A = this chain, B = another copy of it.
């Protein structure tokens, strides 16, 4: 059976990655959204195994030692990581796997899985990103300032990404992401072997 592909989705906090992915799933089948592990505490409404695998710091370090993460990083005092096993199981089943991770995580994936496709979701403007972060209302003004600064750095270092999607509207961004996934499945020479071999 045809194996799935890994798509890394990055972009500044507040850019709307979650909404774009939700929209994508309305039109695209055979997609597995990887659930990250983290040592940070659940926010209101977040469920273990759904939004994150919530781990204590000791367990997280044990998983690192067991090479159980495809990538991991520390961010604002907490650890985040992508459990390897669920990703590989989905790929074997022919599902495309989406990893919603940050720029440093993406670099680790690019090294370990060079065939992974890296997509950066950018805001239409800085003003719009700030507006979205404030509207989300989950963080203090200081944290928002910190996130905006980090977002500017991220956008400047995003040249390793293969694709850039501007989230002007969720519909457009999801349509472009969908097109990227369809197009990437047309890249493989596997397709030609079907016909050349016959």
> Which residues of A approach B to under 8 Å, CB–CB?
119-120, 122-126, 152, 155-156, 158-159, 162-166, 175-176, 178-180, 182-184, 186-189, 191-192, 194-196, 198
Contacts and interface: CB of A to CB of B under 8 A. Distances in A.
A196 B156 contact: yes
A195 B153 CA distance: 12
Contacts of A192: 120, 122, 155, 158-159, 164
Q: Specify how many copies of this chain sit in the oligomer.
A: 2
Contact of A188 (B124, B126, B164): B164
Contact of A198 (B120, B125, B182): B125
A165 B186 contact: yes
Nearest to A176: B186
A152 B152 CA distance: 51
A182 B131 CA distance: 28
Given A125-B198, A196-B155, A198-B126, A183 B191 contact: no
A29 B159 CA distance: 29
